Structure 1
Amino acid sequence: MHLRFDSAPAFHGEDSDEALLERVQRASFGYFWDGAHPHSGLARDRSGRTADPNNDLVSISGSGFAFMAIIVALERGWIKRRDALARFDAMVSTLEQARRYQGVYPHFINGRDGSTVPFSRLDDGGDLVETSLLFQGLLCVRQYLASQHSGSFNLRARIDRLWRAVNWRAHVKPGTNALYWHHSPKHGWARNVPIRGWNEALITYVLAAASPDYAIEPRIYHEGFAGNGAIANGREYYGVTLPLGPDYGGPLFFAHYSFCGLDPRGLKDRYADYWEQNCNHTRINYLHSVEKTQSDDCWGLTASHAPKGYAVSSPVSDMGLIAPTAALSSLPYTPYESMRALRHFMTLPQGRMAGRFGFVDAFAPARNWYARTYLAINQGPIVAMIENHRSGLLWELFMSAPEIRDGLRKLGFVSPHVSEV
């Protein structure tokens, strides 16, 4: 199975939006199918434009996006059901065997034996945010298989056991009222990063409140993540009011990672309307790029590869990098502007801008620099968020989980999904 831009028929200006979106989604899906780790089927952390890396590094968050991408591929008929189920089985088998820390996965694992690959000297244990993004995908799989009446009870039960084993409370640092990102069996809380303030980790608190066996108390969310309202912004940037978060909104993955499964449409709590938050954040990011580049169709600041390594771009830290995932994954929020960006990306030199899994991770127009790499955490939201724009599939699946609805109610959220009986 080959899902390559460079081996497929050329895009044409007259191609419909739907045809273009299908091609982009399908190419990015290839990262998680053809480009998966050969033993485990889980997502490699990164890969090359033309070749796989020579290592066994697997991304836990990237694997959460992989589960979602495979659901999309199965639903759209790009892969056969038996192949998808076999891949799910291999992936879950590796996750069952992997080293965990009170049910919490590390940032990276070895795709062959499931051992922990330390992210850094102090970060060699559980990573709660990575684990959250993994379970966002796993719960979508569980709900999808249940909705198909597929007889896949065993696989659903195995996912349930992994889900129920995560001890979210163990990541509340003693003496605090917040979840903490990391905990190491060797170094304890030395990494010392509270999950606080508006960022990509709303999903972590929702899952922690939704846990059947280790749920946190609501005050941990309100005092820890939201700071009893300290996450509020309320100022205008480029004439757009930003409800939450840092000045100018921060990198766009804030509007993507938690919301591949968590449906922001009509999602509200005492702090914000999350559809308004994400739409306005994206609009500010777009308007910043328009002002800086004087271009209406080349935009998108988020985290990506850069000429000298990994970099986090935002309007307050703009290094001239454009990451295609930023605009493409924002399609639900800015459909017109995102489609303009997609069509613009297709006009760039395809021998450098694209490869076997679609658009490369990033490029710097002023420097004529193009990445020769892909990142799992950027490829995954392209597939998921385009699908949510097209059909709402992943939003419907994730929000159908009864635990998620209970967790949202417990934290004080309202949503069209939560009001359903």
Structure 2
Amino acid sequence: MGRPVGDRDQIPPRLEPHDRRRPFHQRQQLLRLQAEVGEGNGAEAFFTQFSFLGFDPRGKRDKYANYFTNNRNIMLIQRAYALENPRKWSGYGDDAWGFSAGVNNGGGRPLQRDDNGTLEVHAALGAMPIRRRDRCALRHYYRDLGPRLWGVYGFPDSFNESQGWYEEAYMALDQAQTVAMIENYRTGLLWKLFMSNPKSSPRSTGSVL
């Protein structure tokens, strides 16, 4: 059984979205969309989505960003890059996108230098509660690519249609992201449970209003 949450679990009173080595606050325009904060070029899904599996970004903002809007724009940047598809890989489109850390991912960001034709399934599915109207990736991956993508534990990590490569392994980390965000899309359950703890309150962080 887990131990009770105590004072030592209190979130530090000041959280700054950067450190001296790798700035996290870097406002930039990517594919005509604004990214206020983010890792790397600001449009990689890993830090964006894993940071908000439990912490609900809706209505959360500080001097750096509106976090729900920022998360949504990062996902829109990814989708816009897949639609533009500057390297002309097979399989990219409105219902097939997603760039993040994962197997055979090239660089995991929507940039030509980091794009080797691999799509990370969990990146698109993890965006479902952020872009509630966009369920087409889930339908496409399951209905159209299901015989190659769907297995005993659900979706694997990634695939590359240009290479004819479909990952056979399942990464628990990315499975967790997919399951958590689909449930947040359906009911908001994880967001509700996490935010119901007083230690998770935005006021307790001293940084998010």
- For normalisation by structure 1, the TM-score amounts to 0.44
Match of 2:3 among 152, 159, 184: 159
Measured after TM superposition, the shift of residue 296 of structure 1 is 1.6
Q: Which of structures 1 and 2 has the bigger CA Rg?
A: 1
1:323 aligns with 2:138: no
Map of 2:102 onto structure 1: 304
Match of 2:174 among 364, 368, 378: 378
Match of 2:150 among 336, 343, 354: 354
Compared CA separation, residues 381 and 410, structure 1 to 2 (3 A): closer
Q: Does the aligned pair in 2 maintain the 1:233–1:247 contact within 8 Å?
A: no
Compared CA separation, residues 248 and 340, structure 1 to 2 (3 A): farther
Q: Which has the higher contact order (CA 8 A, sep 6+)?
A: 2
Q: Distance in 1 between matches of 2:3 and 2:182?
A: 25
Q: Does the aligned pair in 1 maintain the 2:126–2:178 contact within 8 Å?
A: yes
Match of 2:53 among 260, 264, 283: 260
Q: Distance in 2 between matches of 1:215 and 1:388?
A: 25
State the Cα deviation string for residues 82-129 of structure 1 (Å, max 9, x = none): xxxxxxxxxxxxxxxxxxxxxxxxxxxxxxxxxxxxxxxxxxxxxxxx
Equivalences for residues 2-401 of structure 1 within 5 A:
155=1, 158-160=2-4, 164=6, 212-213=7-8, 215=10, 217-219=12-14, 221-222=15-16, 225-227=17-19, 230-246=23-39, 248-292=41-85, 293=88, 295-306=93-104, 312-316=107-111, 317-337=114-134, 339-401=135-197
Q: Distance in 2 between matches of 1:296 and 1:217?
A: 40
Map of 1:411 onto structure 2: 206
Measured after TM superposition, the shift of residue 276 of structure 1 is 0.9
Gaps of 5+ in 1: 1-154, 165-211, 415-421
How many percent of aligned residue pairs carry the same amino acid? 32
Q: Does the aligned pair in 1 maintain the 2:103–2:157 contact within 8 Å?
A: yes
Q: Does the aligned pair in 1 maintain the 2:38–2:48 contact within 8 Å?
A: no
Tell me the matched-pair count. Answer: 200
Secondary structure of the corresponding residue to residue 25 of structure 2: coil
Q: Does the aligned pair in 2 maintain the 1:313–1:319 contact within 8 Å?
A: no
Map of 1:86 onto structure 2: none
Measured after TM superposition, the shift of residue 392 of structure 1 is 1.0
Q: Does the aligned pair in 1 maintain the 2:43–2:75 contact within 8 Å?
A: no
Measured after TM superposition, the shift of residue 248 of structure 1 is 4.2
Q: Does the aligned pair in 2 maintain the 1:304–1:312 contact within 8 Å?
A: no
Q: Does the aligned pair in 2 maintain the 1:248–1:285 contact within 8 Å?
A: no
Question: Over aligned residues, Cα RMSD in angstroms?
Answer: 2.4
Give the helix-richer structure, 1 or 2: 1
Q: Does the aligned pair in 2 maintain the 1:332–1:389 contact within 8 Å?
A: yes
